[in-house]
Amino acid sequence: MSDYDYLFKVIVVGDGAVGKTALTVRFAEGRFQDHYKMTIGVDFAIKMVEIGGKRVKLQIWD
């Protein structure tokens, strides 16, 4: 049995150097860094949230 009720895959898209990674890390990990290396290819984060009493796993693709 999995530890979540739903799985959503979220894709973050946009122009380079606009803060997609900063936003993703802030949401998923609760921290902010003001210096990042440009993401080459793809990176992802996991965030568990509860919505309406259901556990939702978010796979955030940056």
User: Which runs of E-coded beta strand occur in the chain?
Assistant: 6-11, 44-51, 54-61
pLDDT digits 0-9 by tens, 44-56? 999 999 999 999 9
Pairing relationship of beta strands 6-11 and 54-61 according to DSSP bridges: parallel
pLDDT of 40? 85
pLDDT digits 0-9 by tens, 2-45? 899 999 999 999 999 899 999 999 999 999 987 878 888 889 99
